[in-house]
Structure 1
Amino acid sequence: MALWLYRLGRFSAHRAWLVICAWILIIGMVGGAAVLFMGTMSNNFQIPGTETQQMADKLKADLPEASGGSGSVVFTSTNGQAFTPAQETVISAVLVTATSVPTVKGVVDPFTTTAMLADAQKKLADGTTALTAGEAQLADAKKTLDASAAQLADGQSKITAGQAQLDAQKASMSALPAGSAQASAAAAQLAGAQSQIDAQQAAIEAGKTQLAQGQSKYDASAKELAAKKAELVTGQRSAEAASGLRFVSENGKAAVGQVQFSESMNAVTPANRQLLQDKLNTLSSSGVSVHYSKEITEDVSALFGISEVLGIAVAAAVLIIMLGTLLAAGLPLLMAVVGVGIGVGGTLALSGAIEMSSISPMLALMLGLAVGIDYSLFIVNRHRQQLVAGMEMRESIAKATGTSGNAVLFAGLTVVIALAALSVTGLPFLSILGLAAAATVAVAVLIALTLTPALLSLMGRRVISKRGWARSEKLRQQHTAEDAGLSTEDIAQIVKSKDIARSARGWGGLVTKHPVISLVTAVVALGIIAIPASGLRLALPDGGSEPVDSSAYQAYSITGANFGEGMNGPIIVVGALPAGLDKASATALNLDVADQLRQVPNVKAAVPVTVSKDFKTAVYQVIPDEGPASASTVQVVHDLRAEGTTIKADHGVTIGLTGQTAANVDVSSKLGEALPPYLAIVVGLSLLLLILVFRSILVPILATAGFLLSLVAAFGGVVAVYQWGWLGGIFDVANPSAVLSFLPIILIGVLFGLAMDYQVFIASGMREAFVHGQDAKQAVRSGFKHAAPVVTAAAIIMTSVFSGFIFSHLTMVRPLGFALAFGVLIDAFVVRMTIIPAAMHLLGKSAWWIPEWLNKILPDVDVEGAKLVGLNPAEAAETELEPADAR
């Protein structure tokens, strides 16, 4: 590999303009593709196949009017007082104008909605009063009917008795002589009595008819009253369900409106978001302040902010100090910019065809800048050392590419593999993110191995300052005078003795003089830093994680203070209702389900929102007690899903959760599950690659153990700052909450690759010294002495670049920037430059032990470039990759 890279470096140096033109052509093609095909970035972290996605798809199919994105608008008066009637009117009027914004399909006016709710409450109160009066009237009517019925029954009883007596008298008439005067008189008397009884019976029958009519009227009134009572009960239950929702605060100083979009928030363009804000911002002239939720203000179209530029400026300052000339310092920066331009440009070009999260180009940008500078620096630094030693320029470029370039290739390969391995998690957005970053790192490696040698060839001797050349010449003359009359062997021995003496000084000498103290102190320190990692809690960011002066943070905090934290993260519940329901039965059933949802701990409100026209699909909105990223809200999501079994058994309704809050919980849970297997893959990969490179068993184990120490310490720092709020004022963490859910898995992949970078550059020098005959313990010092300066500069540069993202305009990137900067700082200076040399010094020769059978089957990757030692220019000419040679 070293010989092949030597040839590539020599070709690039001899055919500099060809290489440069090829890269310019690539830049132009990628830039054009990005301009033509770039799509909209998003922060949609949905996972296909999850309940959240299934319910969202069901909602889109069954209730398209309830689908689409939504955002909140929070209004307050600028003087801190309650809204005046004039302000309420102008807010309502301006909200109406918002519907003219493309993709806005409706708004919820807080004052109109509150007035409607108040009117409904008044109607309920009036209905209750009317119902009470109606029930009293009905009771009076019932008493009258009962009295009439009793009177009729008594009259009927008397008539029946009188008829029986009359019938008895009629029977007794048979004893009287027929035709006698006595019989005639009795018959006349009985006929009169019968006539009187018949009249009374007729009156009773009339009374019964009147009573039946009264009863019928009573029954109709009772039925109507029962219907009104049922309607009133439904209204009261609906009001009770909505009692936890407010759109205007109790003190009248804040109001929350809703903007409903016809498409998902990820599809709403920055231009339409801004147009919406422009229309509502006109309220400032009426003494009204307007703040927007994160969904509305989020614009992920910009990649660079001022903080990122400052990070690069620090990296440039380190390069100038190290290399001593602006021209040499500018070369690694230029290589990084070219690599980032191609890598990020290609990522953006694909965003039109692939749904891509905003963090994908940001991670590619972050890594591309860091590794692009470092990889080019390693080759430039080796080339400068060789030039000073007197090597011919192009030969030096070729050998620098074959030696340091070999380490660059391997180090870059570890980063690429670690990032590409994110695809095994089964999370589409994470796979795209990892592949985009891996491609950018791969481009950085190719640029370092081709474009850097080409530009070095054009720069010639100017890669070293005039002062540097003068100092080098003075030292050369001094050495020539000192070596006069000495044999080659004596000179070599003197040089070796001086190197050994110098290696005993500095940090490397201190660590190896006190290896036990250094090792124990470093491990204990990292263990203490890692303690907070035991409390790691994962979630996706919400408005509370935005900068304090941002509109999104203001909207979040005002909403939480006036309406409860849960209003910032409602949970959407979708219910599949049983067949055969009508409007009344569906309404009652939905209220039953809402009642049961409210029984879940830490649920503040559960409201039936809407139902499909066929009464088969219903939507409920659940408001938790706390914000969307809180531990209690995460538990609410789990409890609601568990309650679904009971709701199905009790009511025959199958429920599922969707919405951003539930989706965030699903994503965090899925990422947590993917973390252990991914870590196992990365650790296993680390061991295999390092065994291949260093042909040792203990060195890879040490390197991997060091990586794990760096990792848990980085986790500890992130939890302390972003979850616990330590040093929150310094890092602008106003509202500490759960850690970004995909930060751990990204940190594992990136930090692993970068840790292996430093391991290769530190340990390869140690192995080279050991292989060339030095004592194992001395080889540790010698290798450290030669690698430490460039690794130190590289680590400072990489930390500076990552630190620039700690204050990024995209708050999602901030904890990731901190984690990477802190992790690199720890890994480079504590693990690679303290723990590794101390441990290897203690291990001595056993550090390089490998079973003989394994040593025979391992391929020789020659990371140290041993095959290039003694390679003369004539041999180089034979290996040069030129068209003529190829023929």
Structure 2
Amino acid sequence: MAGVDDPFSAPGGVSADGRTLVAHLRLDVTNPNDMPVVDSERMLAIADSAGSADGVDGAGFDVALGGQTVQLAEQGEIGSETIGLIAAAVILLLTFGSVVAAGLPIIVAIAGLAVSSTLTGLLLRLVDAPDWSTSLATMMGIGIGIDYVLLMVTRFREWRAAGLDPEAATVATLDTAGRSVLVAGSTVVVSMLGLFAMGLSFMRGAALVTILAVFVVMAASVTLFPALLGYLGRHVDRLRLPLGRRRVDVAVGGHIQPGRGWVGWSRLVQRHRVISALAGTAVLLALAAPFLGVRFGFPDAGNNREETSTRQAYDMQAAGFGAGANGPLVLAAELPTAGDTTTLERLGAALAATPGVAAVTPPQLNPAGDTAVITVIPGSGPQDAATEDLVHHLRDTTIPDATRDTGTTVRVGGVTAASIDSTENIARRIPLLIAGVVLLSMVLLVASFRSIAIAVKAAAMNLLSVAAAYGVVAYVLQGGWAGKLIGIDTETPLPAFVPVLMFAVLFGLSMDYEVFLVSRMRETWIRTRDSGRAITEGLAGTGRVVTAAAAIMIAVFAAFVPSPDVVLKVIGVGMAAAILVDATVVRMLLVPSVMHLLGRATWWMPAWLSRRLPELHVEGRPEQHLPVAEPERELVNA
């Protein structure tokens, strides 16, 4: 601590009834985030014991600490890698029915996490990033790493069932699923690069940390995983769980025949393509509807849990000085003539007469007398829409009218005003982010799948999926029954950076599932030139993989929900809801139905463009890896 202001001498330090005092603690660090957590915890302990006399409760007064440093100390751990890994392990065991097969994605994810954590520590010495970015990157790394290896383990087991030896099956897996992993990872990187368009340093830091984690797990998936198969390839189905086995046939192309349920669903969507497309679109639009009424802003400490010191400090200050005391506006006035108090007096009177202003402190001049600071206490809380309106009214009307023809320059600042400005700045840049990410992703998909329709359809579906997630978040923030389920019991504004971050992450993950699904469809299309069959077999063949991958990501993001921080709660709910909607309504219903409606046009590509694009062969060349003889039936896990 650098010092403590005396509440009895500072303006506005004592409430009107004399029962509430506010003292400002001055830190010895420039950035509150640099305050050591252990020091903040010591201050909390001192404040907690201050209401006790000789260790006995009942001294007659309460002490609570507020501010960003205290909130960071009370926030605790963000997310939980352990919860995510345990949930992923259970899902993998149910999917593969084998401890060895389920363990491979976990091993690769943990190894990638270890490497990325080390590299992230080095990166953070060079760039600034918010404290939550490392947790987000870690959870993304775990989820994506497991999803990628899940796809590759599934493909490896199919090649083994097709009759290939472990070494040949490994090569075939890399040539097919490995290519899909590289394209899927690239789409995530492209989406995160969109955060650079926001022009915000903390967004750039978050993007770099996440991109690093994605690169590491993507590299581990195509390097470490094949190496592990060299030791465990022959034993991938060992240590089976007693979940039952069934005899399966190997389809053309080295794929295990999907279960009857997925085949039946695929054919149902094909038969009722129009109804499926309309129903899927209606569900997404209904989920997205609440976002139309969302209000951007920064949640204040009034949303924190009641047992936290920051919430108690907020409530005490609001009760003693009014809700606006938690978000004062700081006006800095530059005078043309030193000591010109006439303009300041006129400005103070105009401020006090402005509707929505609860109090105005006397101007405080600097020693030179050419700069003054005035504190304005709004009549509403920091996150209230009325406070935002007041800031705009002061800037646009009150201050210009009071200082006209005086040469005095007045700026409205403070944490509350800065939050309002940041929100508006981010909101203006959101269209640029969306346009850039969508365009780059479409270019990548056109090159990968050599189809205009697939790229356009993927972009449209992903935008609908993200919009549905936004709607879920907006509904939760209304503070109704849905909000109460996760601890949000009051109407709360949505921080503008949250939809930006969600868009970058979710658009990339949605493209992941698109690549998983369409790459399998394209394999069949290349082999048969039958669009209906390609779509049906692709959906049936990847349904189980996409469902398992989505379940893992939902579990990973759900680990954010128990966080005491309302922003992290919202991110967790939004991400989990988006993955659930995308993997079910979008990938299993809307995408195949629209592709069936398009028919062969799904795979159309202008000849002039086809000649100019590189041949990426994202589907690989599965026909080159199949054994000459038809493989015999063998028992594998279902």
Matched, 1:785 2:540: yes
Correspondence for 1:259:
25
Judged with a 3 Å threshold, the aligned counterparts in structure 2 of structure 1 residues 395 and 415 are, in CA distance, closer, same or farther, namely same
- Cα separation, 1, equivalents of 2:74 and 2:152: 35
Question: 1:608, 1:618 within 8 Å by CA — same for their partners in 2?
Answer: no
Q: Pairwise mapping of residues 427-442 of structure 1 onto structure 2 (< 5 A)?
A: 427-442=200-215
> How far did residue 404 of structure 1 move?
0.8
Question: 2:262, 2:543 within 8 Å by CA — same for their partners in 1?
Answer: no
- Cα separation, 2, equivalents of 1:743 and 1:692: 31
Correspondence for 1:852:
607
Judged with a 3 Å threshold, the aligned counterparts in structure 2 of structure 1 residues 781 and 565 are, in CA distance, closer, same or farther, namely same
Encode CA deviations 1:345-403: one digit per residue, 9 max, x unaligned: 33333334433211221221221121111112111221122223332112212221221
Judged with a 3 Å threshold, the aligned counterparts in structure 2 of structure 1 residues 342 and 655 are, in CA distance, closer, same or farther, namely farther
Please give the secondary structure, in 2, of the residue aligned with 1:572. strand
- Cα separation, 2, equivalents of 1:310 and 1:471: 28
Correspondence for 1:511:
269
Matched, 1:686 2:452: no
1:743 partner letter: V
Matched, 1:573 2:573: no
Correspondence for 2:558:
803
Matched, 1:341 2:114: yes
Question: Which of 709, 719, 726 matches 2:474?
Answer: 719
Q: Pairwise mapping of residues 480-629 of structure 1 onto structure 2 (< 5 A)?
A: 502=260, 505-581=263-339, 585-586=340-341, 589-608=343-362, 610-629=364-383
2:437 partner letter: V
Encode CA deviations 1:468-487: one digit per residue, 9 max, x unaligned: 89987x837xx7xxxxxxxx
> How far did residue 530 of structure 1 move?
0.8
- Cα separation, 1, equivalents of 2:261 and 2:91: 24
Please give the secondary structure, in 2, of the residue aligned with 1:739. coil
- My pick for the range that moved more, 820-829 or 647-656, is 647-656
Normalising by structure 1, report the TM-score. Answer: 0.66
Judged with a 3 Å threshold, the aligned counterparts in structure 2 of structure 1 residues 501 and 536 are, in CA distance, closer, same or farther, namely closer
1:518 partner letter: S
Judged with a 3 Å threshold, the aligned counterparts in structure 2 of structure 1 residues 503 and 310 are, in CA distance, closer, same or farther, namely closer
Matched, 1:108 2:31: no
Q: Pairwise mapping of residues 343-422 of structure 1 onto structure 2 (< 5 A)?
A: 343-422=116-195
Matched, 1:279 2:33: no
Encode CA deviations 1:117-170: one digit per residue, 9 max, x unaligned: xxxxxxxxxxxxxxxxxxxxxxxxxxxxxxxxxxxxxxxxxxxxxxxxxxxxxx
1:258 partner letter: H
Question: 1:722, 1:733 within 8 Å by CA — same for their partners in 2?
Answer: yes
**Structure 1, unpaired ranges of 5+:** 1-102, 117-241, 480-490, 874-887
- Cα separation, 2, equivalents of 1:300 and 1:423: 29
Q: Pairwise mapping of residues 704-715 of structure 1 onto structure 2 (< 5 A)?
A: 704-715=459-470
Correspondence for 1:449:
222
- Cα separation, 2, equivalents of 1:591 and 1:745: 43
> How far did residue 769 of structure 1 move?
1.0
- Cα separation, 1, equivalents of 2:135 and 2:502: 14
Correspondence for 2:634:
none
Question: 1:405, 1:449 within 8 Å by CA — same for their partners in 2?
Answer: yes
- Cα separation, 2, equivalents of 1:422 and 1:828: 24
Matched, 1:462 2:235: yes
Question: Which of 743, 746, 764 matches 2:519?
Answer: 764
Encode CA deviations 1:693-722: one digit per residue, 9 max, x unaligned: 221121212111101111111111111102
> How far did residue 417 of structure 1 move?
1.4
> How far did residue 786 of structure 1 move?
1.0
> How far did residue 803 of structure 1 move?
1.0
Correspondence for 2:247:
475
Correspondence for 1:424:
197
- Cα separation, 2, equivalents of 1:868 and 1:779: 16
- Cα separation, 2, equivalents of 1:704 and 1:620: 50
> How far did residue 830 of structure 1 move?
0.8
- Cα separation, 2, equivalents of 1:510 and 1:557: 57
> How far did residue 823 of structure 1 move?
1.1
Judged with a 3 Å threshold, the aligned counterparts in structure 2 of structure 1 residues 728 and 475 are, in CA distance, closer, same or farther, namely closer
> How far did residue 664 of structure 1 move?
0.9
- Cα separation, 2, equivalents of 1:303 and 1:450: 35
Please give the secondary structure, in 2, of the residue aligned with 1:645. helix
- Cα separation, 1, equivalents of 2:183 and 2:484: 40
Aligned length: 620
Please give the secondary structure, in 2, of the residue aligned with 1:505. helix
- Cα separation, 2, equivalents of 1:740 and 1:771: 46
Judged with a 3 Å threshold, the aligned counterparts in structure 2 of structure 1 residues 857 and 104 are, in CA distance, closer, same or farther, namely same
- Cα separation, 1, equivalents of 2:433 and 2:243: 52
- Cα separation, 2, equivalents of 1:761 and 1:248: 62
Question: 1:294, 1:542 within 8 Å by CA — same for their partners in 2?
Answer: no
2:467 partner letter: V
Question: Which of 484, 495, 503 matches 1:740?
Answer: 495
- Cα separation, 2, equivalents of 1:301 and 1:355: 22
When you count helix as a share of all residues, which structure comes out higher?
Answer: 1
Please give the secondary structure, in 2, of the residue aligned with 1:833. helix
State, as a whole percentage, how many aligned pairs show the same letter: 33
Encode CA deviations 1:730-768: one digit per residue, 9 max, x unaligned: 111133311122011111111111111111111111121
Correspondence for 2:399:
644
> How far did residue 251 of structure 1 move?
8.2
Judged with a 3 Å threshold, the aligned counterparts in structure 2 of structure 1 residues 352 and 647 are, in CA distance, closer, same or farther, namely farther
Normalising by structure 2, report the TM-score. Answer: 0.90
1:621 partner letter: T
Judged with a 3 Å threshold, the aligned counterparts in structure 2 of structure 1 residues 301 and 542 are, in CA distance, closer, same or farther, namely closer
> How far did residue 294 of structure 1 move?
3.7
Please give the secondary structure, in 1, of the residue aligned with 2:143. helix
Question: Which of 773, 776, 785 matches 2:531?
Answer: 776
2:183 partner letter: F
> How far did residue 504 of structure 1 move?
7.4
1:275 partner letter: R
Matched, 1:866 2:621: yes
Judged with a 3 Å threshold, the aligned counterparts in structure 2 of structure 1 residues 502 and 262 are, in CA distance, closer, same or farther, namely closer
RMSD, aligned α-carbons: 2.9
Please give the secondary structure, in 2, of the residue aligned with 1:573. strand
Question: 1:717, 1:819 within 8 Å by CA — same for their partners in 2?
Answer: yes
> How far did residue 303 of structure 1 move?
7.7
Judged with a 3 Å threshold, the aligned counterparts in structure 2 of structure 1 residues 369 and 300 are, in CA distance, closer, same or farther, namely farther
Question: 1:361, 1:436 within 8 Å by CA — same for their partners in 2?
Answer: yes
Please give the secondary structure, in 1, of the residue aligned with 2:285. helix
Q: Pairwise mapping of residues 1-16 of structure 1 onto structure 2 (< 5 A)?
A: none
Please give the secondary structure, in 2, of the residue aligned with 1:656. strand
2:534 partner letter: A
Matched, 1:299 2:57: no
Question: 2:105, 2:146 within 8 Å by CA — same for their partners in 1?
Answer: yes
Question: 1:249, 1:255 within 8 Å by CA — same for their partners in 2?
Answer: no
Encode CA deviations 1:412-451: one digit per residue, 9 max, x unaligned: 0011111022112211111111121111111110111111
Q: Which has the larger radius of gyration?
A: 1
